[in-house]
Amino acid sequence: MSSTDIETTTHSPSGFDLTPPSESQRVALEADLSAEEKRVLLAHGTEAPFCGTLLGEKRAGVFCCRECGLPLFRSGTKFESGTGWPSFTQPVDETHVRAVRDNSYGMERVETRCARCDSHQGHVFPDGPPPSGLRYCINSVALSFVAEGQPLPDPLGRGDGSA
| Residues known to be catalytic | 137
What number of CA atoms fall less than 13 Å from residue 163's CA on the CB side? 22
CB atoms within 10 A of CB 53: 12
CA distance 120 to 46: 9
Question: How far is residue 132 from each of residues 64, 108, 128, measured CA to CA in Å?
Answer: 20, 20, 7
Question: How far is residue 103 from each of residues 24, 108, 142, measured CA to CA in Å?
Answer: 31, 5, 21
CB atoms within 10 A of CB 34: 11
Under 8 Å between Cβ of 25 and 156: yes
Under 8 Å between Cβ of 97 and 142: no
